[in-house]
Amino acid sequence: MPDRMPQQSVTPPQGGDVLVETLETGAAAIWLNRPGRLNALGSDMVVALTEAVNGAIAAGASAIVLRGKGRGFCAGADLKERQGMDAAGRYQHNRAINAAVNALAAAPVPTVAAINGAALGGGLELALACDIRIAAEGASLGLTESRLGAIPGAGGTQRLPRLIGISRALDMMYTGEPISARRAYEIGLVNACIPDEELDKAVADYMALLGSRSAATARVLKQVVHEGHALPLADGLERERQALGAIFGSDDYAEGLAAFAEKRPPRFSR
């Protein structure tokens, strides 16, 4: 299966453990690029990933899609590297992985994880930090840290239960057993389960769909949902009303109304 979206590429990816590609839609495709190690998260790689996410936001990317080169999305922390560390070094390595995960989670734009092959440990935690997860049928997903006598340490103990419920999350973490993409779809862990050979097209189509919507409105929507989720319902509803009031005066809303009246696709600002 090809692992590029050339029909959408404007700026080709550069070399290194993390590649950044600009798509025609204005989105950034960020690639994990250690295929020989199933994109395991080494110390240098996670620093580069954090910089790539923050750089894409600073450059005005309208959305971010995270992908893995080769036959896997991400196998998690680089355990070969971690074996050579003392406890303090392992803790710092984990903090660096957290920084990358948190950069994705804090991104103010839509974020998508396109999961091929294995998404294990820190790899799944990267995907959990994204808004949307699209998985190939052949993918496997798991928080496997219990096999090493550890617990997830980059948000898995908190984000997974919030997504699929405490009991199912604990089952996955207690056993450390990966689940199939089909099962992940059934329990709401991923938004779509796509035949392997169709993953590239499905991701490209989804990014194109996001690109046809107002980027400014998507930012507001994400902010309102996340802020409101942490508030009492009445306060969240008030936050929604305030945001919509501001949108009613925006250029993009005026363009949306004009496009509707003229029976044409809207031309939103990026």
Q: Which residues are catalytic?
A: 125, 145
The angle at the Cα of 153, spanning 151 to 154, to the nearest 5 degrees, equals 145
DSSP 13: P
Orientation angle between helical segments 251-262 and 215-229, nearest 10 degrees? 120
Cα–Cα distances (Å) from 211 to 8, 56, 85, in that order, read 11, 15, 43
64-68 and 140-142 strand pairing: unpaired
The arrangement of strands across the sheet holding 118-120 comes to: 118-120, 140-142, 179-180
CB 77 within 8 A of CB 122: yes
Give the residue among 72, 184, 82, 174 at the shortest CA–CA distance from 128. Answer: 184
Strands in 43-201 per DSSP E: 64-68, 111-115, 118-120, 132-136, 140-142, 179-180, 192-194
Strands in 43-168 per DSSP E: 64-68, 111-115, 118-120, 132-136, 140-142
111-115 and 118-120 strand pairing: unpaired
Distance CA 28, CA 23 (A): 6
